[in-house]
């Protein structure tokens, strides 16, 4: 189990992912991109590297103009990345490969 600070950050990240998912259908890509960027920054600063990796990929998808129906799939992967206990390069590579195969 993580440290209390890690648990608090993980909870904050999970809350942000949920909010992004709930607003995906009604928001413009640029609005979602700002929220995803903030989530990515928080994840990166706190060592949640798989979540930062997936958030970066989601930002790229939003920049390409991904439609809201596909964003829900990205949000699911982002939830999994936030919950990932591993923060090493192999975990990041696995998440990057997962989104690459599923959504590109």
Q: What is the pLDDT of residues 29-62, one digit of tens each?
A: 888 889 999 999 999 999 999 999 999 998 888 8
Nearest to 59 by CA among 81, 82, 39: 39
Q: Tell me which of 104 and 33 has the higher pLDDT.
A: 33
**What pLDDT does residue 1 have?**
47
Res 5: pLDDT: 81
104: its two tokens: 């590109």
Cα separation, 51 vs 33, in Å, equals 15
pLDDT per residue as tens digits for the range 48-97: 999 999 999 988 888 887 766 677 788 889 999 999 999 899 999 999 88
Instruction: Show me where the domains of the chain are located.
Output: 4-103
Rounded Cα–Cα distance for residues 74 and 35 (Å):
14
pLDDT reported for residue 67 = 67
């Amino acid at each position: 189990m993580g440290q209390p600070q890690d648990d608090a950050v993980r909870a904050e990240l999970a809350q942000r992912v949920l909010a992004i998912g709930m607003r995906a259908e009604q928001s413009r890509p640029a609005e979602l991109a700002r929220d995803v960027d903030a989530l990515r920054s928080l994840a990166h600063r706190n060592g949640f590297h798989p979540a930062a990796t997936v958030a970066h990929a989601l930002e790229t998808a939003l920049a390409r103009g991904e439609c809201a129906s596909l964003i829900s799939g990205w949000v699911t992967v982002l939830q999994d990345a936030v919950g990932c206990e591993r923060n090493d390069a192999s975990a990041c590579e696995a998440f990057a490969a997962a989104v690459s195969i599923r959504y590109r």
